Amino acid sequence: MVAIRVADLHKHYGEIHAVDGVSFSVGEGEVYALLGENGAGKSTTVEILEGHRRATSGTATVLGHDPTDADRELRDRIGVVLQSSGVEGEFTVREVVELYSSVYRTRRGLDEVVGLVGLDDQVDQRVGSLSGGQRRRVDLALGIVGRPDVLFLDEPTTGFDPAARRRSWDLVESLCDDGVTVLLTTHYLDEAERLADRVGVLAAGRLIAEGTPAELIEGISGTVVSFMLPESVAPADAAATLGAVLGAEVRVSGRLVEATVDRPTSTVHRATGWALDQGIELEGLTVKRASLEDVYLQLVERAAAP
Residues that bind ligand ATP (CB under 6 A): 13, 16, 18, 36, 38-44, 83
User: Given the complex with ligand ATP, which of 39 and 211 has the nearer CB atom?
Assistant: 39
CB of 36 to ligand ATP, least distance (A): 5
What DSSP string runs through the chain?
-EEEEEEEEEEEETTEEEEEEEEEEEETT-EEEEEESTTSSHHHHHHHHTTSS--SEEEEEETTB-GGG--HHHHHHEEEE-SS----TTSBHHHHHHHHHTT-SS---HHHHHHHHT-GGGTTSBGGGS-HHHHHHHHHHHHHTT--SEEEEESTTTT--HHHHHHHHHHHHHHHHTT-EEEEE-S-HHHHHHH-SEEEEEETTEEEEEE-HHHHHHHH--EEEEEEPPTTS-GGGHHHHHHHHHTS--EEETTEEEEEES-HHHHHHHHHHHHHHHT---TT-EEEEPPHHHHHHHHHHHHH--
CB of 138 to ligand ATP, least distance (A): 20
- Which residues, other chains included, contact 293 with Cβ-Cβ below 8 Å and sequence gap of 6+? 189, 190, 193
User: Given the complex with ligand ATP, which of 228 and 303 has the nearer CB atom?
Assistant: 303
User: Given the complex with ligand ATP, which of 11 and 135 has the nearer CB atom?
Assistant: 11
User: Given the complex with ligand ATP, which of 39 and 133 has the nearer CB atom?
Assistant: 39
CB of 186 to ligand ATP, least distance (A): 9
User: Given the complex with ligand ATP, which of 205 and 222 has the nearer CB atom?
Assistant: 205
CB of 14 to ligand ATP, least distance (A): 7
Residue 70 backbone class (left: φ over 0; alpha: ψ -120 to 50; beta: rest): left
CB of 164 to ligand ATP, least distance (A): 21
Dist CA 294 CA 220 (whole Å)? 9
CB of 205 to ligand ATP, least distance (A): 7
CB of 80 to ligand ATP, least distance (A): 15
- Which residues, other chains included, contact 118 with Cβ-Cβ below 8 Å and sequence gap of 6+? 137, 164, 167
User: Given the complex with ligand ATP, which of 156 and 222 has the nearer CB atom?
Assistant: 156
User: Given the complex with ligand ATP, which of 13 and 64 has the nearer CB atom?
Assistant: 13
CB of 154 to ligand ATP, least distance (A): 8
User: Given the complex with ligand ATP, which of 12 and 167 has the nearer CB atom?
Assistant: 12
CB of 212 to ligand ATP, least distance (A): 21
User: Given the complex with ligand ATP, which of 16 and 220 has the nearer CB atom?
Assistant: 16
Dist CA 212 CA 216 (whole Å)? 6
Task: Answer for the pair 105, 76: CB distance below 8 angstroms, yes or no.
Answer: yes
